[in-house]
Amino acid sequence: MALSYQQAKLVKDTVPALRDHGEQITTTFYKNMLRDHPELNNYFNSVNQKNGRQPRALTSVILNFASNINNITELIPKFERMCNKHCSLGIRPEHYEIVGKYLLMAFGEVLGPAMTPAVFAAWERAYWILAKMLIGREAQLYKDFEKWTSWRKFKIDRVVPEAEDVHSFYLVPQDGKKLPKYFPGQYVSLRIHSPEGYMQARQYSLSEAWREDYYRISVKRDEGARYANSVSKSYFHPGLVSNMLIDHMAAGSTVELSHPSGDFFLDVNNASNMPLVLISAGVGVTPMVAIANTVVKTQPSRPISWIHGSRRTVPFEQHIAMLRRTHPNFRTNIFKTDLANNDVVGVTYNYDFRMNLAQVSSDDLYLGNSGTEYYICGPEQFMMEMSDYLKSQGVGAARVRFELFSTGDLAFKHT
Catalytic positions are: 96, 138
Q: Using CB distances below 5 to 8 A depending on partner kind, what does residue 51 bind out of ligand FAD, ligand HEM, none?
A: ligand FAD
Angstrom CA distances, 280 to 288, 314, 336, 349, stand at 7, 11, 12, 14
Q: How many residues of this chain interact with ligand HEM, rule: CB under 6 A?
A: 24
Interacting residue with ligand HEM among 3, 82, 115, 240 (CB under 6 A):
82
- Asked if residues 329 and 304 have their Cβ atoms less than 8 Å apart, the reply is yes
Cα–Cα dist 304/326, whole Å: 13
83: left (phi > 0), else alpha (psi -120 to 50), else beta?
A: alpha
Residue selected from 239, 309, 378, 408 as contacting ligand FAD according to rule CB under 6 A: 239
Question: Is residue 315 a contact partner of residue 283, using CB atoms and an 8 Å limit?
Answer: yes
Between CA 324 and CA 316 the distance in angstroms is 12
Q: Does 408 sit near ligand HEM (CB under 6 A)? A: yes
Q: What is the largest CA-CA distance in the chain?
A: 71
Contact track, ligand HEM, 14-53, x by CB under 6 A:
--------------------------x--xxx--x-----
Q: Of the candidates 2, 13, 36, 50, which one interacts with ligand FAD according to CB under 6 A?
A: 50
- Region from 98-106, 125-133, 326-334, 400-408 binding ligand FAD, contact rule CB under 6 A: 400-408
Which residues touch 5 (CB under 8 Å, ≥6 apart)?
Answer: none
Interface region with ligand FAD, contact rule CB under 6 A, candidates 9-17, 232-240, 323-331, 390-398: 232-240
| Least separation in angstroms between CB 260 and ligand HEM | 15
- The answer to whether 276 touches 203, Cβ cutoff 8 Å, is no
Alpha helix stretches (DSSP H) within 89-218: 93-111, 117-144
By CB under 6 A, tell whether 81 contacts ligand HEM: yes
Spatial contact of 244 and 204, defined as CB atoms under 8 Å apart: no
| CB nearer to ligand FAD: pick between 126 and 188 | 188
Nearer CB in complex with ligand FAD: 242/294: 242
407 is a site residue for ligand HEM (CB under 6 A): yes
Spatial neighbors of 119 by CB under 8 A, at least 6 apart, are 10, 11, 14, 111
Cα–Cα distances (Å) from 154 to 88, 175, 414, in that order, read 16, 8, 38
- With binding defined as CB under 6 A, does residue 89 bind ligand HEM? yes
372 binds, among ligand FAD, ligand HEM, none (CB under 5 to 8 A by kind): none
Residue 207 DSSP code: -
C-beta closer to ligand FAD: residue 129 or 141: 141
3-state secondary structure of 371: coil
Binding to ligand FAD (CB under 6 A) within 282-311 occurs at: 283, 286
Q: With CB cut-offs between 5 and 8 Å by kind, which of ligand FAD, ligand HEM, none does residue 96 bind?
A: ligand HEM
Q: Which is nearer to ligand HEM, 26 or 310 (CB)?
A: 26
Which residues are near ligand FAD by CB under 6 A? 47, 50-51, 187, 202-205, 217-220, 222, 224-225, 237, 239-243, 262, 283, 286, 403, 405-406
